[in-house]
Amino acid sequence: MKEIDCRGLGCPEPVIRTKKGLKESPDGVDVIVDDRAARENVPRYAEATGYKAEVKQEGEAWRIEIRR
């Protein structure tokens, strides 16, 4: 599964990178974020575009698994 590391980036950059990643890998991607706004906005974007998103805490960051 394609992994997109967005640690250190504030919104809207993680959402923009997620959108690009899903175009390249339409079955799904894993997005790693450490920004609370991105932790909310990336799953919201994924679900609004027909994907399922699961958020898992990994230390100081979150892994957002986005799948069809």
Among all residues, which ones are annotated catalytic?
Answer: 11
CA distance 33 to 30: 10
Q: Which of 41, 35, 22 is nearest to 62 (CA)?
A: 35
CB atoms within 10 A of CB 15: 20
